[in-house]
Amino acid sequence: MTRWEVIVKYLGYVLLFNALFFYISASISFFFHENSLTPLLYSAVVCTILGSFPLIFVEKIDEVNFREGMVISVFGWILTCFVGAVPYFMWGGEFTFTNALFESVSGYTTTGATILKDVEALTKGLLFWRASTHFIGGVGIILFVLLILPSATGTRSSIYNSELSGLSKLNFKMRTRQIARVIAVVYLSLIIIEIALLWVLGMNFFDAICHAFATVATGGFQPKT
């Protein structure tokens, strides 16, 4: 039996994770007095509100079964891609709804294909959001699966039980945290190192961040045409 309240609760985490990067992008637009502030801030607030309700009203969950885990993973990707298209579509320019969704999917899947003829027509806030979709897609879903999907009380998710030996199942939650920590540290270290190198070698700091987000995630969204 699939408990939809469990699925909705974890999809709330997905929305809040995206909201964090929306707020950062909106802050950049605010700092540079850009017309992308409203679309980005609107996206951030909507994600925060919709993501918070399930966390408030759905009771604590002790276990996520295999079917629920699969549904969360699939709908998490779909929801993220549609949410990521909102600021593009609201901002306009070359972004019809179809183009905005294409750009969003391409970003999160780190494919790197784009509909844009003139990348530099985008504001810095949107350029940062565009690069952030690579950052999120490159490691965010992995960390989400490793840290959020397993039970908060230590009950092992059956999605993992089917893949692990009996010995490796011991103290499994600690192991997932260790794996997630290693992935996060390596991923963030590579990004920080690349940002530093590009900056030292003459690239401006903003472009260095966007380039690092794109290349470490093996995508292709750059801030230049």
State the chain's mean pLDDT as an integer: 83
Cα–Cα distances in Å, from 130 out to 43, 120, 180, 214? 14, 12, 24, 9
3-state secondary structure (DSSP) of residue 122: coil
Mean pLDDT in residue range 112-123: 92
**Residue 145 pLDDT grade (very low, low, confident, very high; cuts 50, 70, 90):** low
> Between 74 and 23, whose confidence is greater?
23
Asked if pLDDT for residue 156 goes beyond 50, the answer is no
> Between 105 and 54, whose confidence is greater?
105
> Between 16 and 183, whose confidence is greater?
16
The pLDDT of residue 211 = 95
Asked if pLDDT for residue 155 goes beyond 60, the answer is no
**Separation CA 30–CA 23 (nearest Å):** 10
pTM of the model as a whole? 0.83
- Please give the span between the terminal C-alpha atoms of the chain, in angstroms, as a whole number: 50
The pLDDT of residue 69 = 74
**Separation CA 46–CA 10 (nearest Å):** 16
Asked if pLDDT for residue 163 goes beyond 50, the answer is no
The pLDDT of residue 74 = 83
Percent of the chain residues past pLDDT 70, beyond the cut? 80
Mean pLDDT in residue range 126-152: 75
The pLDDT of residue 182 = 80
Q: Where are the alpha helices (DSSP H) in 32-138?
A: 37-57, 66-91, 97-108, 124-135
Mean pLDDT in residue range 12-22: 91
Query: Smallest Cα–Cα separation from 192: which of 216, 175, 168?
Result: 216
**Separation CA 43–CA 50 (nearest Å):** 11
Asked if pLDDT for residue 212 goes beyond 80, the answer is yes
Query: Smallest Cα–Cα separation from 137: which of 26, 40, 214?
Result: 214
Mean pLDDT in residue range 185-207: 94
- What the block records as the tokens of 26 is 């909106």
Query: Smallest Cα–Cα separation from 105: which of 17, 219, 225?
Result: 219
**Separation CA 204–CA 197 (nearest Å):** 11
Query: Smallest Cα–Cα separation from 141: which of 182, 183, 169?
Result: 183
Tell me: the pLDDT tens digits for 33-78? Answer: 999 999 999 999 999 999 898 877 777 766 667 777 778 878 888 9
Mean pLDDT in residue range 92-97: 92
Torsion of CA 51, 56, 57, 63, to 10 degrees: 80
3-state secondary structure (DSSP) of residue 91: helix
Asked if pLDDT for residue 166 goes beyond 60, the answer is no
